[in-house]
Amino acid sequence: MEKIDLLLTNAIVLVMDEGFHQYEPGAVAITGNKIVAVGPQPQMEKEYTPEATLDCGGKVLMPGLVNAHTHIPMTLLRGLADDLRLDVWLLGYMMPVEREFVSPDFVRLGSRLACAEMLRSGVTCFADMYYFEEAIAEAVAQIGMRAVCSQTVLKFPTPDAADFEESLSLACNFIQRWKNHPLIVPSVAPHAPYTCTPEILHLAAALAQEFDVPLHTHISETAQEVENMRNEQGMPVVPYVKKQGLLEAKVLAAHCVHIDEGEIRTLLHAKTGVAHNPSSNMKLASGVAPVRRMLDLGINVGIGTDGPASNNDLDMFEEIRLAAFLAKGFSGDPTALPARTVLAMATRLGANALHLGDITGSLEAGKRADLILVDLSSLHNSPRFHHDPNGTYAQIIYASKASDVTDVMIEGKWVLRNRQLLTIDEAELVKESQQYAQRIDIFLIHREQSILSKLVAIGGATQEESYEMQAKVPLKDPAHILEALQQPDIEIIRQRHYRQYDTYFVFDDPQQCRLRYRADDFIIEKGEVTNVRSRLTLVGQASEYNFPQKVLLSRSRFIAPATQTLRFYREYFKPSRELEIEKDRLRYLIRFKGIEFYINVDTLSKPELGFFLEVKSRTWSRKDAEQKSSLAIDLINHLNASPEDNISEEYVDIVETM
């Protein structure tokens, strides 16, 4: 009779080993932080003399769930913005708020909130990727959870580092300090191939290899990412990261939604672990990963919740149910990913994917005592059938809920007992998180009130103001203007031909400016388009002042290159109306009586407004504007147009009043 610390008895034991052993009634022997043995209760009682015995009351005793990919501090951004496209969600909401609020204090609180929620859904181990990972690791270790904590590296500045060198240095120090912690496995996370330079990928892989720690990254989450990679590098994402040496490390790759057979085999060969994130991939409409194929070939595919801002919770019971459903619903085969396989993904295979399979993920002798009790006697789990040995797995996947988890032990220590968290004060967390939410609300409410601050929030505008003097005359026929421009006292400095497509966003609030999205086609000759650029212009109130003869002084403008699509801006700014204007523009920069003017000869095709001459000039003061406007009238006369036809409206004003 061997002495042990603790014998857990009277349980439906799901070992979740490769043989899928089950014991009912079963028992688990624990000494210190480790599992000594697992087996049928009568046999275990004969073989072991425990210091203490715990009757599990007929509950399921199984390995704790492994949340294979998440960003835990984002609990504090849960429900911040939903039902948006990935770019609007990320660039419009997540990143601006993160820039403003993410700090060691933020990640500490968010991590504690996340740990509490995960423990309540039976999670004992997870893989995190965020900023200030040192503070996260401290919070997690103090609560007593097991985690791979991955310090994020990006090619952009992050909340915790001015550049990627600083991020990598943070990661290096973090890894050295935490390398031998019993619960925390430190790791480096080059965020994704498209947000990292090849150099970052190389250096991160080298760092992970040097200290033999996992490397955590995002791979092929969206079809767009793969398309961009193919266009830019002539290959999909997995071969690209392999080329950068990334797969030399012990990689945990999140998502892998859009990968092909060859890429799957590359990941298999590299022993890369994969984290499947069904809720996030559905909510952001990224697609469904080829999970069944990856499993068939032998890849360790775990299941993750992803960050709670795109989920919106950390409930692994919802995640496993959805993983089972999606595999069936998308393949048309209801036998795909049966319950037993899904539960293996959420335990043993998940631990393997995190490269922690030797210490956790199943109830096997020698592994750490990371386990949970699940009560299957509740109403929504009733009744329970015994005729099929797979029935218990099915019950957990399809019927049971996070709220059925009653007890959680990690590293041999109870952290949840009878649904009570032992290392966390929940009420305090809820209260503190609400204080953060209020501050973020104020920030966003203020921002949302002004189109300009929304534009600034996405890094979309240089805050420069200028004024513009403008005179506009309708023309019967532009030909004589083009002739008149050849006069010797007009010096043509530059000449361009554009096709311009303008979309104006108009807002209900009359205080708001108009936002113009302009796509310029630059035409060389014979209509050939060589250069397309898109610009975003925030146009101030329609007219500041009208000079005699309706010369317009408009307040200009915040101008920025439009790096996102028109659709992005539409969904981000939510205009109440849109107006479209298309025109052909011959644009001249000329000098007339010592002053530079822009002359536009425009043909408006949408709507069909005909021909116009525009004379424009930048100006910096009222006085300067007055002088220039008077000169502009001279110029119009000089070009044989009629300055008395001058209209003090912009095209968009004409269109709006049509």
The answer to the question of residue 390 lying near a copy of itself (CB under 8 A) is: yes
The answer to the question of residue 311 lying near a copy of itself (CB under 8 A) is: yes
What's phi and psi for 80, nearest 5 deg?
-65, -40
Task: Please identify which residue in 383, 510, 527, 594 interacts with a copy of itself, judged by CB under 8 A.
Answer: 383
Assigned token pair, 596: 């530079």
E strands, 172-257, in order: 184-190, 214-219, 250-255
Stretch touching a copy of itself by CB under 8 A, among 236-244, 436-444, 611-619, 643-651: 436-444
The answer to the question of residue 379 lying near a copy of itself (CB under 8 A) is: yes
CA distance 116 to 120: 6
Identity of the residue, 81 or 506, whose beta carbon is nearer to a copy of itself in the bound complex:
81
Name the packing angle between helices 104-120 and 133-143 (round to 10°): 40
| Pick from 609, 636, 606, 598: nearest CA to 494 | 598
Identity of the residue, 81 or 609, whose beta carbon is nearer to a copy of itself in the bound complex:
81
Task: Please identify which residue in 128, 138, 306, 315 interacts with a copy of itself, judged by CB under 8 A.
Answer: 315
Q: Is 355 left (phi over 0), alpha (psi -120 to 50) or beta?
A: left
Stretch touching a copy of itself by CB under 8 A, among 38-46, 423-431, 468-476, 624-632: 423-431
Identity of the residue, 258 or 367, whose beta carbon is nearer to a copy of itself in the bound complex:
258
Identity of the residue, 128 or 404, whose beta carbon is nearer to a copy of itself in the bound complex:
404
Assigned token pair, 243: 């080329």
Stretch touching a copy of itself by CB under 8 A, among 155-163, 279-287, 543-551, 591-599: 279-287
Stretch touching a copy of itself by CB under 8 A, among 156-164, 298-306, 398-406, 603-611: 398-406
Assigned token pair, 36: 């000594």
Task: Please identify which residue in 192, 252, 373, 394 interacts with a copy of itself, judged by CB under 8 A.
Answer: 394
Task: Please identify which residue in 157, 391, 548, 561 interacts with a copy of itself, judged by CB under 8 A.
Answer: 391
CB 18, min distance to a copy of itself, A: 19
Task: Please identify which residue in 339, 345, 475, 553 interacts with a copy of itself, judged by CB under 8 A.
Answer: 339
Task: Please identify which residue in 113, 148, 154, 208 interacts with a copy of itself, judged by CB under 8 A.
Answer: 113
Give strand pairing partners of 63. 371
Which positions ≥6 away from 387 have C-beta within 8 Å? none
CB 117, min distance to a copy of itself, A: 5
The answer to the question of residue 156 lying near a copy of itself (CB under 8 A) is: no
The answer to the question of residue 395 lying near a copy of itself (CB under 8 A) is: yes
Question: How does DSSP assign 35-96, residue by residue?
Answer: EEEEEEHHHHHHHEEEEEEEE-TT-EEEEPEEEEEE-GGGGGGTTSS-S--HHIIIIIIIHH
Please list every residue from 559 through 618 that binds a copy of itself, using CB under 8 A: 571
The answer to the question of residue 508 lying near a copy of itself (CB under 8 A) is: no
Query: What CA–CA distances, in Å, run from 244 to 99, 248, 249, 550?
Result: 29, 9, 11, 62
The answer to the question of residue 24 lying near a copy of itself (CB under 8 A) is: no
Stretch touching a copy of itself by CB under 8 A, among 147-155, 333-341, 483-491, 543-551: 333-341
CB 349, min distance to a copy of itself, A: 18
What's phi and psi for 419, nearest 5 deg?
65, 10
The answer to the question of residue 530 lying near a copy of itself (CB under 8 A) is: no
Q: Is 507 left (phi over 0), alpha (psi -120 to 50) or beta?
A: beta
The answer to the question of residue 78 lying near a copy of itself (CB under 8 A) is: yes
Task: Please identify which residue in 210, 212, 441, 644 interacts with a copy of itself, judged by CB under 8 A.
Answer: 441
Give strand pairing partners of 185. 148
Binding mask 349-368 for a copy of itself (x = CB under 8 A): --------------------
For the chain, the helix, strand and coil percentages under 3-state DSSP, each to the nearest 5: 40, 30, 30
> What is the CB neighbour count within 10 angstroms for residue 563?
12
